[in-house]
Amino acid sequence: MEFKHETCQQYIARRLSEGWSIVCQYGYTIILSPPNGTFLRPVDLRNDIETLRPNAPGDECSIDSQGGWCPVCPNHWEGVSDVVPDDDVAYVRNTAVTSYLRDLYALPASSGSGTINFIKIYFRCSWWNTPGFAKPSLKSDDTITDGTEVAIETEWTTFKTYSQQWDTNPADGQPWGSDWSVIDALQIGVSLKMGAGGQALCTQVYVEVDYTPVGRSFGFIIG
C-alpha cells in the first residue's frame, strides 16, 4: 500500500508498524527513531504529513548504472520508488567515478493544503567493496540543490536509511509557505560517489512534506 496524506497519528502508527520506536514525547512533539537508529524524527502532533515517491523521470539521470530489475536511464525512478524497501532487488549505483553522479525524479501531484513547515528527503544506501558517499538532491523552480554528504555506513547487501530536512525553499531561501504548486513542481533524487574500486548504491528515495492543515484545531487528546 502506498501512503500519501496522513494525520500525525496515522503517520506514527505506520512508523511503529514498520519497526520504528518512540524515543520520548514532550508537549505536542513525539520523537521517533528508525530501526537502524541513523537519525531522530520529531513529529508535531498538530501537523499532517504528505509522503511523495518518484513516479516519472526528472530532469537528470546521470548515475551510470543500476542493479537487479531496475530499468536503465531515464527510468531509474522505478527502482527507487518502492514503499517497502526492496534493498538488493533493485537499485541505482555509481560504478564509474570517485565524484558525484546525480539522478532527479518527478513526483505525483500533492493533495495537501495548508502551511508547509518543511520537507524531508529520505534515501536508503549501501556500498560495495569500498565505502562510498551519498547526498540527497532536489530541484525547486530552476535551482538544483545537493544536501549534506553522508558516509554510507553499511556494506552490500545491508542498506541503511538517511534523511535531510529543508526548512526553507533552496530556490529563494524563504519559508515554503502555502503555495503547493511549488511541491507539485518539485523533483527529488540522490547523488552517489563511489570509493576507489567500489560502488555506491541507493535503493529508495522519497520525500515527506510536513504541514499544518487549514483550520486545524489543537484541542484533540492523544491517547
Domain membership of residue 130 (yes or no) is yes
C-alpha span between 149 and 134 (Å, rounded): 6
| pLDDT at residue 221 greater than cutoff 60 | no
pLDDT in tens, 139-172: 999 999 999 999 999 999 999 999 999 999 999 9
Domain membership of residue 66 (yes or no) is yes
Give the length of the chain: 223
C-alpha span between 151 and 153 (Å, rounded): 6
pLDDT band at 222 (very low <50, low <70, confident <90, very high): very low
pTM surpassing 0.85? Answer: yes
CATH number at residue 125: 2.60.120.260
Domain membership of residue 182 (yes or no) is yes
- SS3 category, 187: strand
| pLDDT at residue 106 greater than cutoff 80 | yes
Domain membership of residue 35 (yes or no) is no
Domain membership of residue 42 (yes or no) is no
C-alpha span between 184 and 12 (Å, rounded): 25
Domain membership of residue 22 (yes or no) is no
Q: Could you tell me the three cell numbers for 128?
A: 560495495
Share of the chain above pLDDT 70, in %: 95
Range of the domain at 75: 52-213
pLDDT in tens, 62-80: 999 999 999 999 999 999 9
Domain membership of residue 149 (yes or no) is yes
- Per-residue pLDDT, 214: 85
| pLDDT at residue 4 greater than cutoff 90 | no
pLDDT in tens, 12-48: 999 999 999 999 999 999 999 999 878 999 999 999 9
How many domains does the chain fold into? 1
C-alpha span between 105 and 103 (Å, rounded): 7
Q: How far apart are the first and last CA of the chain?
A: 26
pLDDT band at 217 (very low <50, low <70, confident <90, very high): low
What type of residue is 107? L
Domain membership of residue 220 (yes or no) is no
Query: Average model confidence (pLDDT) for the chain?
Result: 94
Nearest to 62 by CA among 189, 216, 223: 189
